Structure formats: C-alpha cells, structure tokens
Amino acid sequence: MNKLRGLLYLFSSIAPWGAGAYELQISRIESSINSCYPKILSAVIQQELNQGKVKKNEAPFDFRLDADALQRQGSTYNTTYQKIALEKRFYGSPVSAYAGYDISGGYTPQYDSAQITSTLGRQFVGLKMNLLSGFTMDEERLNLYNSMLDKEKSDYELDLSRLLVKTEAMKAYMGWVIAGAELQAYEKLLHIAETRQNALEKRFKNGDIAEISVKENYNNVLKRKMKVTSAKDYFNKASQYLALYYRDQRCNIVTPNQNLLPKTLPEVNKIPEQPIVDEVNNAVKNRPEFKIIQTQLQQIVNQQKLAGNYLLPKLNLSVQYNQNNSDTATSSYFQLNQQEAVGKLNFSMPLERSYGKGMDKETEASYRKLLNDRQLLLDQLKAQLETLHYSVDATASQVDMSKTENKLATDLLNAENRRVQNGDSNFFMLNLREDNATNSYLNYINVIAGNYQALIEYNFLTGNNVHLTKAYPQFN
C-alpha cells in the first residue's frame, strides 16, 4: 500500500515530460529554407534570368565597330572604298556618337553609295539624335529600362517567396511543437495508468483489492493508449509537414523526432500598442507586394512615355564633321576642302497615329487597374491588422484564465490523490481527476497555439516573417 501511495504521489502531476538536450531551433529551419527550399532556389534562379535579360537588352547600346570595303573592276567606273567606324549609343539620351576613317579611289565612288575623300583619306566624327519621337523613350530603351525594373522586381519576388514560405514553415513548426506537447501529455497520462496497473495487479494477487478495481483501471489504460495512438498519428503528420522545411546540409529532408522538441512551451505574446496608421505604414514598407506593385507602376510609366513618343512626328538630326588629310580628291573633277561639315534632317509623321493612341489608352487603363489593386491590398491589410492585433492580445489574456483553470484542476487532482491515500476515495474518481487535469492542460496548450497562430499571421502582414530568427527569438 505504501508503494502504491508513492507511485500515486510521483505520477499525479500532469505536466509534460521534458525533451532531450538538443532542441530544434527556428534558426535551423530558416537556414534550411534559405539554402535548400526549392521555391526559394527558383526565385534566386529567376534573379539570374532577369540579370541575363538586362545584359541582353544592353546590346543596342554596346560599342559597335563597322568596317566596309568596296572594289569595282573591269568597268568604265572602276572605284575602291574602305571605311572603318566606331559607334556608341547612349541609353540615357536619344544620342549616338561615332568616329572613323575612310578613303576612296577611282573616278566615281559615289555611284556605289561611297564617299569621295582626299587621296590620303579622311577622319570623321558625328552625332545622331531624335528630336521629337524617340527623344524621351524608344523601344530599345524601354526594353532596357523595364528589364532593369524586372531585375529589381525579382529581388522583391524573392523576398515575397521567403515571406510566404517562412510563414508556412513557422506554422508547421508551431504545429509540431503543439502536437508534441499534446503527445507528451497523453504519454504521461498513459504512463501513470500503466504504472498504477502494475501495482494494482500485484495487490490483486496478494488479495488486497477486488478484481473490479484492476479491470476498471485497465479500461482507462486502453482508453489512454487510444489517445496516445491518435496523438502519435497527429504528431507524425506534423513532423512530416515540418520536414518539408527542415533539411540537412545536403538538402535532404529530415523528419524531426520527439527528442528535438523544446523543453518548455513558449510564452504568449502581446503586440505593443501603436496607431493603426503607423502599423499600416510599416507594413507597406516591409511587404514585398507593395514594392512589386511600385516597380510595375514605373514600368507602365515608361510605356506611357513610349506611347507619348508615338504620338509625335519623327524628326531625326545627324551632323558630321570631316577632316580630309589632303586637299586633292580621288576624283579629279571633284573639288573638296580639308574641313567639311555635313548636316541631315529627316521628318516623317503617321497622320492617324493609331498605334500611339491605342498604346496610350492601354497603358493608362493598366495604370489605373494597378492602383486599384494596390488600394484593395491596402484596405485588406488595414482590416486584417486590426483583427489580428485584437486576436493576439485576446488570446494572450486568455492564458491567465487557462493557467488558473489548470492550477485548479491540478489542485483537485492532488486533493483526490490524498483522499485515495486516506481511503476516502477510489481509483475511478482519481482517473477522472487525472483526465480533467490533462484536458485543462491541453486547453492551455490550445490557447498558446491560438496566440501564435494569430501572431504568425500578424507578422506575415507586417513582413516580419522574412526573418524568423528575429521575429521569434524565443525559439532560439
């Protein structure tokens, strides 16, 4: 009897068992995500792709070397012409600059669209520029500018992928912690019943108690085994889900076991009070979606500039300065000066300007649509922040009530235990008290889970989940 009383006293508390020496910290999960998670790696690859597109769209603005050679033989108008030139177009302006050297020979090189030069050739420099259409924007500059914005946008999309993935990972981690705590509570409850069963069976063999007491306790053992089996299944599912985000150094999936659970449950959280306007402004600064929309708006602004250029006539100017190396032309009938200046002006205009008008209307509508999308996201953000702010604080306040309930259930269990020891109660009532104490503890766990569920959603809205280690220091 004294041995049984000692066992009852030892196992009457329903607090969960502590975990092993090593805990799975959230920093390890975050490290696995950053280095191994496929969606994150795909976003990094997209960055590289967009960087390649930027490089490709820089091609029209590369230095270009041109060389031409012409020779006509066996004709009345035998001619030769050689030319080499270096040209550079500047993507920040509608100007191209070039310089080169050419030399002609024969009677009429102009018949082959060549230039008449001095017998020693000439040097030349020149500029080409768009004065109206193409002055502020053209197709090639648009492709380059918008590909640069695509590169910037891919940085924000990487942040968005991290935010989404890490939010789900944090939910999986917290679900695993809660499932583990529930499993430990049920295992402890089963352990109490099994230990008691062994003691009761010995007493029954010695004739100290009736068989019904043994069977009644065994009935509780079976019930608690079923609960442990169900809790193990729930914990295994939570472990498998968390394993999607937990990987080793070779990026192989690792399923976390029960020994890696935190030793204690985390403390509940409250969100510091601040004006909702400040909360929304901080969220807008941190959320990648708003940065993505901003780059998309800038891309549309660039398209609007191009549309405006298509509404203007083309007026292209080119100027060139020639320095001949002698005053003798290769064609004897042609007189030239050693210094020459040449100007050319080209004008054209589509009378109906349908393309420009259509593009202008299209980009204006796209801009308004994107602003509407941004406003909707902003309105949703404000409403959800207010709701989650309340949920976090409400669940935090419920913890005190849950602790009080759990303490009361534990006190009743301890009192019932003393009554059993004094012979004033029975194992039926003691089992009920143990079940009630466990249920109150599970209610406490669920309140903590609700608090973190709201907190995780709140940190998603504010963009804090991009850095889990910083957002949840209690798990490190």
Taken in order 254, 255, 259, 263, is the CA torsion positive or negative? Answer: positive
- Across the range 201-228, mean pLDDT stands at 89
For 235-268, what is each residue's pLDDT tens digit?
999 999 999 999 999 999 999 999 999 988 888 8
State pTM to two decimals. Answer: 0.82
- Across the range 191-211, mean pLDDT stands at 89
H-run or E-run covering 23: none
Tokens for 109, please give them. Answer: 């090189």
Q: What is the pLDDT of residue 426?
A: 79
Average pLDDT score over the chain: 88
Pairwise CA distance, residues 206 & 267, whole Å: 48
3-state helix, strand, coil in the chain (%, to 5): 65, 15, 25
Cβ contacts of 161 within 8 Å, gap of 6 or more: 39, 40, 42, 43
pLDDT at 126 over 90: yes
Cβ contacts of 365 within 8 Å, gap of 6 or more: none
pLDDT band at 84 (very low <50, low <70, confident <90, very high): very high
For 207-275, where are the alpha helices, taking DSSP H only? Answer: 211-243
For 314-342, what is each residue's pLDDT tens digit?
899 999 999 888 877 777 667 677 788 88
For 380-438, what is each residue's pLDDT tens digit?
999 999 898 888 888 888 888 888 888 898 888 888 888 888 878 777 888 888 888 99
Pairwise CA distance, residues 466 & 159, whole Å: 7
pLDDT at 300 over 80: yes
Looking at mean pLDDT, say which of 31-45, 115-129, 319-333 comes out highest: 31-45
C-alpha dihedral, 20 to 21 to 22 to 23, nearest 10°: 70
DSSP per-residue codes, 298-320: HHHHHHHHHHHHHTSPEEEEEEE
Q: What is the pLDDT of residue 19?
A: 38
Q: What is the pLDDT of residue 81?
A: 85
Looking at mean pLDDT, say which of 165-169, 310-314, 334-338 comes out highest: 165-169
